[in-house]
Amino acid sequence: MALSMHRDSNSSGSNSKQQQMDPSKYVRYTPEQVEALERVYAECPKPSSLRRQQLIRECPILANIEPKQIKVWFQNRRCREKQRKEASRLQTVNRKLTAMNKLLMEENDRLQKQVSQLVYENGYMRQQLHTVSTTTTDTSCDSVVMSGQQQQQNPTPQHPQRDANSPAGLLAIAEETLTEFLGKATGTAVDWVQMIGMKPGPDSIGIVAVSRNCSGVAARACGLVSLEPTKVAEILKDRLSWFRDCRCLDVASAIPTGNGGTIELVYMQIYAPTTLASARDFWTLRYITSLEDGSLVICERSLTSSTGGPTGPPATCFVRAEMLPSGYLIRPCEGGGSIIHIVDHIDFDASSVPEVLRPLYESSKILAQKMTMAALRHIRQIAQETNGEIQYTGGRQPTVLRALSQRLCRGFNDAVNGFVDDGWSIMGSDGVEDVTIAINSSPSKFLGSQYNNLSMLPTFGGVLCARASMLLQNVPPALLVRFLREHRSEWADYGVDVYSAASLKASPYAVPCAKLGGFPSSQVILPLAQTVEHEEFLEVVRLEGHAFSPEDIALSRDMYLLQLCSGIDETTSGACAQLVFAPIDESFGDDAPVLPSGFRVIPLEPKSDGPTATRTLDLASALEVGHSGARSGGEADTSNQNFRSVLTIAFQFTFENHYRDSVAAMARQYVRSIVGSVQRVAMAIAPSQLSSQMVPKPLPGSPEAVTLARWICRSYRVHTGGELLQADSSAGDAVLKQLWHHTDAIMCCSVRMNQASAVFTFANQAGLDMLETTLVALQDIMLEKILDEAGRKILLSEFSKIMQQGFAYLPGGVCVSSMGRPVSYEQAVAWKVVNDEDANHCLAFMFMNWSFV
């Protein structure tokens, strides 16, 4: 029953005021009064004074309660609600921490067993080597060592031929698969090495490890999700929904077992990641069962001649890969949720691809990123969506947004692979094999598909795809894709964008020959959705329209692209970076047709397990070099000198029958021009120690940059009387490093009479983050593009003061990044930077306490 202070109406005289303030006097609310107040609270938790007075007038049962006491009741009610939510949140965190603690203790036990096993094996090897060295001088010791390695690299035992038609034989294979999978998931059957950067915690993805010295490639992940085991199992079985490289998955047959489990024979195809390799397929046995402790298990392995079992369907365009015992262990967690153990162990038959591409199929890190962690991320995403922890804008449901992302990926994979059974055929080349043109004119490809509104046109000829692949040297995939995303005008052609966008109309605007070198179009990126860990972004890109001639003014409308970007975190090891986009109509629906094109960059030789540092183009790499251990400009970094990646480009266009050859010529020329642009960008963002001629401007870590940093700090001290840096240093590179890591955004622009046309020449890390750009593209940004109208007026009015007095304080306001996002700042300082001869060199700006709005 609720209690509240209430003045005693029977008191009078001088004792009335004393009793009114006596905290021991309370009034007890009746159930009817509490019910009435709760109804109002449900509608309005914080009613105004007028609303409380109205409540007293409308509810006679509250007539004996003063308005002040009503106010106190609502305050207490809001406090109790807040305490209840906080208690619920803490209980949830406690459950997560308890489950994570249990998981870490199990992982610690597993590591202790692994250490004991390694110590035993090490002692045994020492004993064998000592025995061999004292008895003979032959090479038998090598055989002992090699036999031990072979035993570790080939842990899978060989089995006699199984009866293909016997359920008992299939159950025996299933039970052996279960045993071997559990040994990998919770035991020491595989030598696991934890991936760098995967720190366990209640909000992290979990514990991720990759294999070392085992046959094939393997990855393992353990994590905690707030979904029940049966729901998790249902999601994981639907591999098409979360494994982006999965082309199809067919369950050929399902056989129930006597212990309540199910054996399924599964045929799966996965896309090739590049045009230079063949796609893979699998014929596997999948066993779904439960353990005595209530855990669910989904384990799987390939059926081969050594394991026995039915023979899988043949496929001419695929290389048959082998899935070694893999699967999912899903354990119920106290208080709700599940603990998941995921193991992926695959032999991709890397010998069937060119040697330069074998790292694609020999890297456990790539497998972990594309398959193991993708499964865990997908489950965590659905769990947070189910719990209402993720808010989406635009009125689209999460399932719809995931479907759009899936369609973009599948469409791009179809374009890269060009399977014959989908109707693709190779068009004759023009004598140079750098760009491949594939055409799909099959009616079955488009009828009832996303392109059915186009295929109904009488002149519709089909879809044409121009694709190419190239090797890149010393170019981080994340950095390249981020640059391509942020600076589309550096490689895209507006005329081709017009043609692609017009293809969505009922009567396509025929541009059989693109106007290469046409007007550049500016872009605005509008966020649509992102995954929990921000490793993937779905967005809409608006391209501002231009007209090539007065006759084209009617066609110069803004164009829109649906774009998917992933893998742009430079600290992620072995991740594939991808930028896929498709033209859409401004009012595109959930089932709008999409014809994806884009880029994919995959590392061929992932970096070692050493720590990786975030690098922003050339400057950050120069800043990582200390003063005492600085390297010369011509000395190459041996850790990155042989770092290679493969870039795959695929662009799709619709065409009319009578324009097929013209569109093919345009597409071939366009992709070649993109390859040239990408090569120039790659040279600019690659580590510049390889060649001083590769970068058109001096290194920020060079003497010119050190001198500029010294000028900036000295001019600030002379003009304002204060210190820009906390601790001054006589070493020039130390000044540059402190300036680079300054928390406020500091940037310099050229000094011109017309300040609206001034361009930026330098920015520190915070300045680049605020402008959402890179050092290479910084010089393309003009001052007028980031300041709003009020900011430009203030700067113009203060410009004479800056030039005469040397500095000026500018009030807080809002500016715009290069991506079109508004940025607020509390205050700005502008000062004149002079060189050693006291001549004007540039203008410097410092934006304090900035943040994206």
Between 140-153 and 67-135, two packed helices, what is the crossing angle to 10 degrees? 150
Q: Quick check: helix, strand or coil at residue 185?
A: helix
HEC assignment per residue over 272-323: CCCCCCCEEEEEEEEEEEECCCCCEEEEEEECCCCCCCCCCCCCCCEEECEE
Residue with tokens 């509810």: 59
How confident is the model at residue 11, as a pLDDT?
39
Consecutive H or E run containing 473: strand 460-473
Q: Quick check: helix, strand or coil at residue 542?
A: strand
How confident is the model at residue 730, as a pLDDT?
55
How confident is the model at residue 544, as a pLDDT?
74
Residues 6 or more apart whose CB falls under 8 angstroms from that of 409 comprise 244, 564, 580, 596
How confident is the model at residue 394, as a pLDDT?
57
How confident is the model at residue 279, as a pLDDT?
94
How confident is the model at residue 552, as a pLDDT?
52
CA dist 716 to 700, 739, 744, 846, Å?
20, 12, 14, 10
CA dist 781 to 522, 585, 747, Å?
12, 29, 12
How confident is the model at residue 450, as a pLDDT?
44
DSSP 110-149: HHHHHHHHHHHHHHHHHHHHHHHHHH--STHHHHHHHHHH
Alpha carbon distance 27, 15 (integer Å): 19
Query: How does pLDDT run across 683-730, given as a tens digit for each residue?
Result: 877 764 333 333 333 345 567 788 888 899 999 999 988 888 876 555
Residue 76's CB: how many other CB atoms inside 10 A? 13
pLDDT < 50: residue spans in the chain: 1-24, 137-160, 162, 447-453, 455-458, 506-520, 548, 554, 606-641, 688-699, 753-756
Tokens read off for 77: 């009610």
Candidates 510, 507, 560, 572; CA nearest to 535 is 572
Paired sense of beta strands 262-270 and 279-290, if any: antiparallel
Residue 727's CB: how many other CB atoms inside 10 A? 7
192 forms beta bridges with 211
Reading phi first (left if > 0) and then psi (alpha if -120 to 50, else beta), residue 335 is in: left
Q: Quick check: helix, strand or coil at residue 398?
A: helix
Alpha carbon distance 583, 505 (integer Å): 11
336 forms beta bridges with none
Residue with tokens 């000094």: 751
CA dist 805 to 329, 403, 729, 798, 811, Å?
70, 59, 26, 10, 17
Please check whether residue 36 is in contact with residue 62, taking contact to mean a CB–CB distance below 8 angstroms: yes
Query: How does pLDDT run across 447-485, given as a tens digit for each residue?
Result: 444 444 454 444 567 899 999 998 888 888 988 999 999
Please check whether residue 257 is in contact with residue 250, taking contact to mean a CB–CB distance below 8 angstroms: no
pTM above 0.75, yes or no: no
How confident is the model at residue 756, as a pLDDT?
46
Alpha carbon distance 37, 99 (integer Å): 40
